[in-house]
Amino acid sequence: MTLVANTKHFSPHTYYIHTFGCQMNVNDSEHIAEILHQAGLRPANSPEKSDLIIINTCAVREKSEEKLFSFLGRLKTYKKKKNIRIGVTGCVAQLRREEIFRKAPHVDFVVGPDNYYRLQELVFSGNKEVATAWHTDWRELPTPLKRTSPISAYVTIMEGCNNFCTYCVVPFTRGREKYRPLNLILDEIKKLADSGYQEIHLLGQNVNSYQDPESGQDLVDLLERVNQIEGLQWIRFITSHPRNFHRRLAEAMAHLEKVCHQLHLPVQAGSNKILTLMKRQYTREEYLEKIALVRELVPDVSLSTDIIVGFPGEEEEDFEQTLDILRKVQFDNIFSFRYSPRPRTAAARLPDSVPLEVKRERLVRLQNWQRNIQLAKHKALCGRVMKVLCTGRSKKDPSQFSGRNEAYQVINFASPRDVFGQFVQVKIIDYGPYSLKGELVESGEKS
Ligand code: SF4
């Protein structure tokens, strides 16, 4: 929809993308960059050096929205000095289109996640525009040639969500579930493997409800096909909904040699009362059964989860049930947040009954509890030698590298030679609550 037509010609040469949020947004930014690249634009390494600034946004938490408006505030004076075009993309664009123009009239266009295929047109039009229409079909975007990492790539397999958990804004920002055709996913991954990618993450808000639109093949079928792609070494998938996590998928994790023994299974809360209010569609008992199932079939599986504290109606005994889930499962990692009401969600209509200081105190307690679990787990890894994909190197010290093991734990290690992009063996020599420290073990070297 054109809000204000502009006859001024606009032809940018350079672009800068600022990304907020999750892996899905990082992957979307890679696609956006490819679209701009195909339009003849080149990346700039700061907003000051670019003619086009795109802010790719996240709406999952209130805080990320605040960050967007503060970033836009900083661009206001800059736009007065230079003829630039500013676009807001992503989930906040979809959710807050009117508010963005009201609070930041210097924004030129707003594009929701379902409309990136229109980006070229919006960049060059010079008009003030909004593109937030929904589409029910999958619209393939150009495959990014340049990615954030040269070793590990995100590959989107589905978008949106049909679950409508009462706290979650995703169904309103990404729409209903849409599945990417299986042949397009395989083509992209084959190309990535041919160009040296070692690891891929299959991405979607709810990957275990994936179905190829043509054949109906599911995530397990897809994993089996990806597992056959030569050159690739590790396959991960995120995010899984506990309701859709089943024995067949756990079996695939156990027998497909490239599928990492790592599972992110968001529990969100430990009490059945809160799980019902959240409309998560499983009980704590059912969740624990799924954990037992995956541990039975994949005994060395590394488990992580998401937790929300202070959901409306959460009382001390509900919160203690959440701590109890942590105690019982012994997760390898958790992502924990204070509840904040999100627009249009069902929970936003409930009284936000837990005072802020109680939410804060519970979050600290939860994180301390988990910190101790992780410290104990990491301590037990000392002396072990493990396979690590080196994904980073220190800018300051050329002997320091970082990477991840199969469990997706962060490992910082020293190496006398450059091992960036390689699989290496690392001996764990120290640990902290959130990462491990190690040293390179050369082949033939005794550990
Ligand atoms: S399953 Fe995940 S993405 Fe879907 S509504 Fe629930 S929290 Fe949001």
Instruction: Express each pLDDT in 258-293 by its tens digit.
Output: 999 999 999 999 999 999 999 999 999 999 999 999
Centroid of ligand 1 to alpha carbon of 279 (angstroms): 10
Give the pairing type, strands 436-441 and 410-414. parallel
Residue 266 sits in the same domain as residue 314 = yes
Please report the beta strands in 59-137, taking only residues with DSSP state E, as ranges in sequence order: 85-90, 109-111, 128-131
Residue 298 sits in the same domain as residue 195 = yes
Residue 228 sits in the same domain as residue 316 = yes
Does residue 142 fall inside a structural domain?
A: no
Residue 345 sits in the same domain as residue 265 = yes
Q: Say yes or no to pLDDT of 377 above 90.
A: yes
CA nearest 302: which of 373, 247, 365, 368? 373
- The span from the CA of 257 to the CA of 51, in Å, is 47
Does residue 120 fall inside a structural domain?
A: yes
Residue 419 sits in the same domain as residue 334 = no
pLDDT score of 63:
82
Q: Say yes or no to pLDDT of 30 above 70.
A: yes
Centroid of ligand 1 to alpha carbon of 339 (angstroms): 14
**347 contacts: CB under 8 Å, gap ≥ 6:** 166, 167, 277, 278, 311, 312, 339, 341
Give me the residues paired with residue 16 across strands.
53
Q: Say yes or no to pLDDT of 126 above 90.
A: no
CA nearest 204: which of 234, 250, 236? 236
- From the CA of 268, give the closest atom in ligand 1: 7
Ligand 1 site-directed mutation target among 58, 95, 163, 210, most atoms within 8 Å of CB? 163
Number of domains in the chain: 3
Residue 351 sits in the same domain as residue 334 = yes
For residue 205 and ligand 1, the question of a CB distance below 6 A is answered with yes
Residue 417 sits in the same domain as residue 275 = no
Residue 359 sits in the same domain as residue 396 = no
Residue 104 sits in the same domain as residue 120 = yes
pLDDT score of 444:
61
**Ligand 1 atom 6: the closest Cα is on which residue?**
165
CA nearest 391: which of 441, 427, 426, 433? 426
Average pLDDT, the chain: 93
The pTM (predicted TM-score) of the whole model is 0.92
CA nearest 433: which of 346, 369, 362? 369
Does residue 446 fall inside a structural domain?
A: no
Does residue 177 fall inside a structural domain?
A: yes
Centroid of ligand 1 to alpha carbon of 260 (angstroms): 23
What domain range includes position 193?
152-379
Residue 9 sits in the same domain as residue 72 = yes
- From the CA of 162, give the closest atom in ligand 1: 4
Residue 7 sits in the same domain as residue 99 = yes
Q: What CATH number corresponds to the domain at position 428?
A: 2.40.50.140
Confidence of residue 430 (pLDDT cuts 50, 70, 90): very high
Q: Quick one: DSSP state of residue 420?
A: T
Please confirm whether the linkage preceding 173 is cis (ω < 30° from 0): no
Q: Which of 4-13, 335-344, 370-379 has the lowest mean pLDDT?
A: 4-13
Centroid of ligand 1 to alpha carbon of 360 (angstroms): 23
pLDDT score of 380:
97
Q: Which of 65-79, 163-177, 356-370 has the lowest mean pLDDT?
A: 65-79
| Mean pLDDT, range 303-331, rounded to an integer | 98
For residue 280 and ligand 1, the question of a CB distance below 6 A is answered with no
Centroid of ligand 1 to alpha carbon of 163 (angstroms): 6
Confidence of residue 5 (pLDDT cuts 50, 70, 90): low
Does residue 139 fall inside a structural domain?
A: no
